[in-house]
């Protein structure tokens, strides 16, 4: 019997969701069972760097088993002497496709093709992800009110921009705080009110300056990483951190206005046919569709 296998990479939640949801979408399209491995990971980096978020994702999903059961799953896979296909295209297979095949998803995609194979099946992906949530995750998200303006500020292992570096061409660096402040103030000017802002970050409050002085701004704390991602996706406006797949997944799952840094708008997050329904791109104070969408926020 053919099996779909997701081998979770040693990475953050956003990057792990790519192979995970590709595997489950592929399995759904072809009526094949899915086995996930690698979720009992201990990440030393966050402890060594003194990060606030330790990236422990146990208990997030209902497929997660105890360590012994997970080990037995991996042991059985090693004895599975069948054909193996790495990173297959996420689509329905022809009926005469070879049986007894392992279809393996493990790779983190390049930023230009983050949601390739997923955005074509967006509604299926959203439904499957909801089915995968553990009971604790479902209960936690159901108790939280959706944000108005959700701002994700990636800190953690993203470094500060060095003197002389061009933010437009480097990756894995922190989006400047001034950028988020400008976006928040610009949205509020268009709307004519101090719309409430929810800050989602893996950083510490003391790492921020002027942002803390703004009125009607709340730092979201005390949730798991997955609950934060799902809560962010329920915002009416999402402001992303450049190159952060956590931000991008929240945008993919949402029907919100999605604002991306102008230097990093090349990533196609949602299906192109959504462009006529909801704004995605850099903040443009002269864009009629964006202006009208902000003014309609209740």
Query: For 185-226, what is each residue's pLDDT tens digit?
Result: 999 999 999 999 999 999 888 889 899 899 999 999 999 999
Q: How many angstroms separate the CA atoms of 253 and 246, rounded?
A: 11
Q: What is the pLDDT of residue 1?
A: 79
Question: Do residues 172 and 264 both lie within one domain?
Answer: yes
Instruction: Give the contacts of 33 (CB within 8 A, at least 6 positions apart).
Output: 1, 3, 4, 27
- Which CATH number do you get for residue 222? 3.40.50
Q: What integer best gives the mean pLDDT of the chain? A: 90
Is 138 a member of any domain?
no
Confidence of residue 46 (pLDDT cuts 50, 70, 90): low
Name which residue leads in pLDDT, 179 or 98: 179
Q: How many angstroms separate the CA atoms of 188 and 208, rounded?
A: 20
Q: What total of structural domains would you count in the chain?
A: 2
Q: How many angstroms separate the CA atoms of 194 and 88, rounded?
A: 47
Structural domain boundaries enclosing 32: 3-132
Q: Which residue shows structure tokens 């443009």?
A: 284
The residue among 132, 166, 184 that closes a domain is: 132
Q: Are 40 and 139 in contact (CB under 8 A)?
A: no
The residue among 98, 132, 166 that closes a domain is: 132
Task: Supply the DSSP string of 190-239, one letter for each residue.
Answer: HHTS---EEEEESS-GGG-SGGGGSTTEEE--SS-HHHHHHHHHT-SEEE
> Cα torsion at 16, 76, 132, 115 (round to 10°)?
40
Is 245 a member of any domain?
yes
Q: How many angstroms separate the CA atoms of 178 and 248, rounded?
A: 20
Inform me whether the pLDDT recorded for 47 exceeds 60.
no
Does residue 53 sit in helix, strand or coil? coil
Question: Do residues 106 and 226 both lie within one domain?
Answer: no
Q: How many angstroms separate the CA atoms of 45 and 253, rounded?
A: 28
pLDDT digits (tens, 9 = 90+) for 236-266: 999 999 889 999 999 999 999 999 999 878 7
Inform me whether the pLDDT recorded for 85 exceeds 60.
yes
Please, what is the end-to-end C-alpha distance for the chain in angstroms? 52
Question: Do residues 121 and 197 both lie within one domain?
Answer: no
Q: How many angstroms separate the CA atoms of 198 and 196, rounded?
A: 7
Report the pLDDT averaged over residues 131-157: 94
Between CA 115 and CA 108, with CA 245 as vertex, the angle to 5 degrees is 60
Question: Do residues 167 and 284 both lie within one domain?
Answer: yes
Question: Do residues 223 and 117 both lie within one domain?
Answer: no
> Cα torsion at 161, 165, 171, 175 (round to 10°)?
40
The residue among 104, 132, 160 that closes a domain is: 132
Q: Are 235 and 147 in contact (CB under 8 A)?
A: yes
Question: Do residues 13 and 117 both lie within one domain?
Answer: yes
Is 109 a member of any domain?
yes
């Amino acid at each position: 019997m053919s099996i779909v296998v997701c081998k979770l990479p040693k990475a953050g939640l956003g990057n792990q969701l790519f192979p995970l949801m590709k595997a489950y979408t592929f399995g759904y399209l072809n009526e094949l069972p899915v086995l996930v491995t690698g979720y009992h990971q201990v990440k030393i980096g966050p402890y060594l760097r003194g990060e606030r978020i330790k990236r422990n994702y146990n208990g997030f999903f209902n497929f997660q088993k105890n360590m012994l059961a997970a080990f037995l799953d991996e042991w059985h896979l090693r004895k599975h002497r069948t054909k193996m296909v790495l990173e297959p295209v996420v689509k329905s297979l022809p009926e005469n496709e070879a049986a007894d095949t392992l279809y393996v998803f493990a790779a983190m995609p390049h930023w230009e093709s983050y949601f390739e194979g997923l955005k074509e099946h967006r509604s299926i992906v959203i439904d499957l992800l909801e089915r995968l949530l553990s009971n604790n995750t479902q209960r936690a998200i159901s108790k939280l009110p959706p944000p108005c303006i959700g701002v994700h500020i990636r800190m953690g292992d993203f470094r500060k921009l060095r003197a002389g570096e061009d933010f437009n061409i480097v990756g894995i660096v922190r989006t400047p705080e001034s950028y988020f402040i400008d976006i928040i103030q610009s949205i509020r000017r268009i709307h004519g009110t101090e719309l409430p802002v929810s800050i989602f970050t893996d950083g510490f409050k003391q790492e921020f300056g002027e942002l803390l002085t703004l009125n009607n701004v709340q730092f979201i704390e005390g949730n798991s990483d997955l609950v934060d991602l799902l809560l962010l996706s329920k915002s009416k406006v999402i402001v992303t951190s450049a190159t952060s797949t956590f931000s991008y997944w929240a945008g993919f799952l949402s029907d919100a206005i999605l604002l991306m840094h102008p230097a990093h708008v090349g990533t196609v997050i949602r299906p192109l046919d959504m462009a006529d329904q909801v704004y995605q791109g850099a903040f443009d104070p002269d864009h009629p569709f964006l202006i009208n969408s902000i003014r309609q926020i209740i």
